[in-house]
Structure 1
């Protein structure tokens, strides 16, 4: 484990070194001509040599390596062997940024590398600047005219590719493209448009509205979600999205309770006016900047909605530091009964579907609770109204999903109570307010 950590740190040090150097000299790319430069620091030689000497009448591979790089050490003997076999047509310069003393000592301890046919350049900074990179092995292929033809890792080092380079051709369709400007100390944006999974939470974003959206599985029979996105919402609204699991846009008959010493942390000023008047905030705009949030969770595949909302809740719990207690309490509920079960037949549909509008109500393959919850949520005086009935309890004893089809007269959407009356007359449903044990979620600030 210690050895692995050392290798990683050396790699990062090299990346930082090259990142600093690359600001000074533009890096050459495929199709560029190499400059006329003198190189000094070759193993076993004191004099400088012009780079042109290596590709004049031959082709050249400039290979960048380091003593800590395992793939590099596997590649070096292969390069040396190819340089020997093609001695009259190919030169190889193996370049390391590491010091002469370090490299000489390393090579003496590893005679198996047998670097006899390649030129080893030690303590280099010049070629590292001209051919900047982030990942090694890094190989630059140069033809006899001094033009960069390819830039690869290890995968292209073969006799057939060397033959093609000598012939002035290239079979390498994929070239190495290191992200030179990448800085691991900065926020990672490179994958913003092609991420596999993402969870991101930000503060208030000026200039966009408030709201939320879900992206569900294509399969309507499954209650699966792949993406949730809320934008400029309060913490109580965000939490209710998780706890309520789409029951309503607002807390539904106190199924979620928040116990806090600072209500302004969770609720809009209009929802806690006394706390807001005692707070540090002078205007609603000041409060919004500190207490509205944008949150997105996108997963690599759809998850059952209960699991998806658990992922969300754990995200929010880590950031906002609250405790969660789930318990069952006796509260007022809406019990659904059926007077005549013979009016309802088992659905033969293979998908679940509900829609209500001014033309009528259509439901396929649903439970009584799903049916009543849907119309309770959809048929309200306005979008922000709390649903008319408390949570539903199924007392019908039906053992199968059902279909419902209603037509409305005069092209008018009836009220919620009117639709309940039509369902009672047509299908025998009736409801009754009763107390039952029902799941409640308590959210408490963590003690400091």
Structure 2
């Protein structure tokens, strides 16, 4: 069974309805003559209902005709969206009734209510986070169409002034709008064709593309006209008999993380626990954003990269990823790789007792790997966890007190144990080239 910690995205398609004007999902405009609201448009008086964790169950856009209304579209599969929620709560308290930071999701109320009660990141945050959110949204995603989250719509004094990614929600940017200043933020691009190569070749070069030795790579900085698309875009161009991978607007660290993962995609992928990462470079601020580096939008301009590699013939994604790593190591003068290192770990081990109270995973049983990744590693509170039991089935887990001692007691009930020991584990290492 393969477990990964990457959050997946769902493409939600609504049922087609008969109307004179429809978008690609079959949705009609809610106000005659307005199929979609864009930057510069005046926002009509829209009823926003189905709001949870809020003092009002419904509001109207006209309630904020003299204020700032920020709509943050999200769903439970968007890790970045969830990670930003404590910041949104904090900013709402700072600015009070000058603004309304409202989360918006298409997912149903029952699912979202349960999510806010059970998500450990939000419930264990100090203070706990219980975001005001629109649920089961239909109207807002009709007016503000999007394909990827986070998707943030800024409405000031009744007009759409910006559509951005989540990194733009900062105190400084909010203050800029409240002071009535114009903004020149990089706007979020939704419609982008990832099948088109970075380089459009001229006829002379096109003749050379027929050679079995044909190939090239392109490395560029942040591209404002391109969305920050997660993952590696891998394409087999059968027309030109070429293979291509492309990465859009990613940090150096995230680029290496994705490429290294793709060199052996069939293995279990653990979360990037701090102890599973070693950034051994002179200037770490160049590789991965932290709040201490200042505004993320400024950091992005200086440090995000776009990368493309094209090779003649059919080259598997794993091999293309290895070639791209070699190329980027040379270009960036660094050395990114997996390396085995000794690290203090939490280790699930088998005892001399038989394994008890099992339950098939498909029936709701908890696999050990799930406990390793979701219960322990993702919290970053404990040493990295590994599974040495050899057991790949499921356990019927009873609730515990949420501590390591409580989890260990429950694991021991099943004939297993959880110990602390030094182990040699795989670490993602990026160092300056020698």
TM-based fold match above 0.5: no
Normalised-by-shorter TM-score class: 0.3 to 0.5
When Rg is computed on C-alpha atoms for both structures, the one with the higher figure is 1
Q: Structure 2 length normalisation: TM-score?
A: 0.41
